[in-house]
């Protein structure tokens, strides 16, 4: 099977250099890298972690996390909700035309005074 992909120049040069260094073809290198990545993703789906262990034991273990791995974590721990078609339609409208941030939100995030929810604190906000 032939597969095409677009890489950045930097990543492409690294790949070519690594293939030469390891005495592998680019296809062999990508095949091995993909096999490892598939194992990582399948493990992550089960909650496994990828950790680099320093051979000397002098350095602490380092956990490797990529955006897609973090996404899987969030997805695995998601809260199931039931959505109505109307709710999804409204959400789609907001995503399509999000508009500008509200002035109250601007003030809130800037640390400025906003007409506060003190009266709501007594009830628990949104809880």
Tell whether residue 46 is a contact of another protein (CB under 8 A).
no
Nearest residue to 51 via CA among 35, 127, 6, 43: 43
Span of 2-10, 12-20, 53-61, 80-88 interacting with another protein by CB under 8 A: 80-88
Span of 14-22, 36-44, 51-59, 97-105 interacting with another protein by CB under 8 A: 97-105
Secondary structure letter of residue 61 according to DSSP: P
Q: Taken in order 89, 90, 96, 97, is the CA torsion positive or negative?
A: positive
Q: Cα separation of 7 and 2, whole Å?
A: 16
Number of residues that bind another protein (CB under 8 A): 54
Q: Which is nearer to another protein, 9 or 121 (by Cβ)?
A: 121
Span of 1-9, 25-33, 51-59, 77-85 interacting with another protein by CB under 8 A: 77-85
The structure tokens listed for 123 are 């009830």
Tell whether residue 48 is a contact of another protein (CB under 8 A).
no
């Amino acid at each position: 099977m032939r597969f095409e992909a677009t890489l950045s120049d930097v990543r492409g040069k690294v790949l070519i250099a690594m293939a030469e260094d390891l005495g592998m073809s680019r296809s062999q290198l990508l095949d091995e890298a993909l096999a490892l990545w598939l194992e990582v993703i399948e493990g992550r789906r089960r909650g496994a972690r990828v950790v680099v262990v320093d051979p000397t034991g002098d350095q602490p273990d380092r956990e490797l996390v990529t955006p897609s791995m973090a996404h899987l974590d969030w997805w695995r721990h998601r809260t199931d909700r039931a959505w109505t078609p109307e709710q999804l339609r409204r959400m789609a409208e907001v995503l399509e035309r999000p508009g500008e941030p509200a002035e109250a939100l601007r003030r809130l995030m800037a640390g400025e005074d906003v007409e506060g929810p003190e009266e709501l604190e007594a009830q628990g906000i949104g809880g």
